[in-house]
Structure 1
């Protein structure tokens, strides 16, 4: 088998999200995965530095998991969440398709390396780490909706409400998510001029 794994992953930039929502700015799976990795890492750092009464997590491992969380979409394309979760049978079919794509992708990795990637590709994993990545995934979708609304795109009004509703259980049971929402998300309402001005504000150390 030709080891085409990384060449395939490089095509994530060609898989576009939000196709049914008419975004003002297209978003691809590669940049989405990067943002989810940033957010997952941040949630881990918040856990380890602020909520120190909770067990520590490996923030770097969270980032790696997030980088690969949508890797099978290189073969399956992005499936609209409203369609994917519209019926149990539809969800089962989508997950079956993702599992097949994951197996095909893992088959393109040389055998000595494969075991390092198997936990990262296409597993509907459970446990705390998976919850951090899922929360980061929703935060990425939520901030995308905010950026579209800031641009006047009313197509994302429903998306903002739907994603916020999906985030609520994570906000309630994960203090890291609530802290991120309270401290980092408000800035996503700001213009670039406001962001730059805020970056250069004098502050005490």
Structure 2
């Protein structure tokens, strides 16, 4: 089994440093990892909307293609961070220049990527060497990209009226979105308004999710970088997908684990991020928080989506968040569907790995998601301490996660080996 190494975990995290629109006046810092999270949330919705007539295997294939191509684009962007988009687009227009840039990017990525599974690195290279972006997954990702970037730019647009590029930049996102044939894009932008006063259910959900970039994790703890809830969700999703590949998970588990990771902290849109020591300080607090989260999810998320005709996304969100099934109490429970289609909780990762590694079982690795959640928290804390910004909360988190992972494995994946990379 191939190993997940420190270099790949840090590569995924490095988008937390990458400032966006850093040549514009910004009321708040905007980071690449947050934009990627917002993009993939929108891509998930668009994928569901545009694959209604697909068979279950075809839909899973499309979802995995969207996930992988989204990650491939993210990794490419991490390496080319210093190239402004207009310059990058000019490079892309010249086949020879783009090919040379791509080979350099692939060379830079090779040491960090290692061998996640037998084909991930090869699929990434093939994707970037092939400039055809006409497939459905490519068009979905392009629409999600233009929406997430345009959403960001509409935040900073009022502060850049003096900039002669201001209106043209804002208009460019609308123009690209209006040209797409992807169903659901009109509901996102509603004409020319990213922030409509009366959004559609789809547009409102996308807007709410985007606001998670303003919620900073560990809010009372100084850290560098200050990661957001939205960025953390993408980090957990990426880790969950990569670890799923490493474990040899079936396509359904890979897809479910990514999207469950991408939405696992969605309730914090309603409660804010509460650090573990605070949650543990009062015995009844976790239960009270959970009850409030469920009430607010129904009122502010599920209800409006259902009224807008989006029953399928609500059903998937309920499954990802651990709100469906016999004995299921958390998004971190291991679940699958039995032969009758009912969701059932399994007692351990090992049982899920043995019984649920089949696309038809629609399995979700809650234990793996919890590991990835802790792994992301460890990276956040460890990076800050190594940068020179420390606190008791950060030190406690590092020590707790090290101790928990030191002698632990999932399948053939040694978490202790991952921790040893950071010694």
Q: What TM-score does the superposition give when structure 2 sets the normalisation length? A: 0.39
Give yes or no for contact 1:33–1:67 (8 Å, CA) kept in 2: yes
Q: Distance in 2 between matches of 1:184 and 1:163?
A: 9
Structure 2 counterpart of 1:14: 214
Give yes or no for contact 1:143–1:185 (8 Å, CA) kept in 2: no
Q: Which runs of 5+ in 2 are unaligned?
A: 1-198, 324-329, 335-348, 350-364
Structure 1 counterpart of 2:389: 153
Deviates more, 1:126-135 or 1:110-119: 110-119
Question: How far is 1:173 from its partner?
Answer: 4.5
State which of 377, 380, 390 in structure 2 corresponds to 1:144.
380
State which of 276, 280, 283 in structure 2 corresponds to 1:88.
283
Q: Distance in 2 between matches of 1:97 and 1:185?
A: 39
Q: What TM-score does the superposition give when structure 1 sets the normalisation length? A: 0.76
Is residue 234 of structure 2 the alignment partner of residue 5 of structure 1?
no
Deviates more, 1:96-105 or 1:66-75: 96-105
Question: How far is 1:91 from its partner?
Answer: 1.4
Q: Distance in 1 between matches of 2:229 and 2:412?
A: 25
Q: CA RMSD in A?
A: 2.7
Give matches, 1:37-48, under 5 Å: 37-48=237-248
Q: Distance in 1 between matches of 2:259 and 2:302?
A: 16
Give yes or no for contact 2:229–2:265 (8 Å, CA) kept in 1: yes
Give matches, 1:157-176, under 5 Å: 157-167=395-405, 172-175=408-411
Deviates more, 1:38-47 or 1:115-124: 115-124
Deviates more, 1:108-117 or 1:88-97: 108-117
Is residue 233 of structure 2 the alignment partner of residue 33 of structure 1?
yes
1:45-84: CA deviations, max 9, x gaps?
11108xxxxx887212100110000011111111121111
Is residue 363 of structure 2 the alignment partner of residue 131 of structure 1?
no
Structure 2 counterpart of 1:182: 417
Question: How far is 1:176 from its partner?
Answer: 5.4
Is residue 344 of structure 2 the alignment partner of residue 108 of structure 1?
no
Q: Structure 2 vs 1, CA of residues 137 and 177 (structure 1 numbering), >3 Å: closer, same or farther?
A: farther
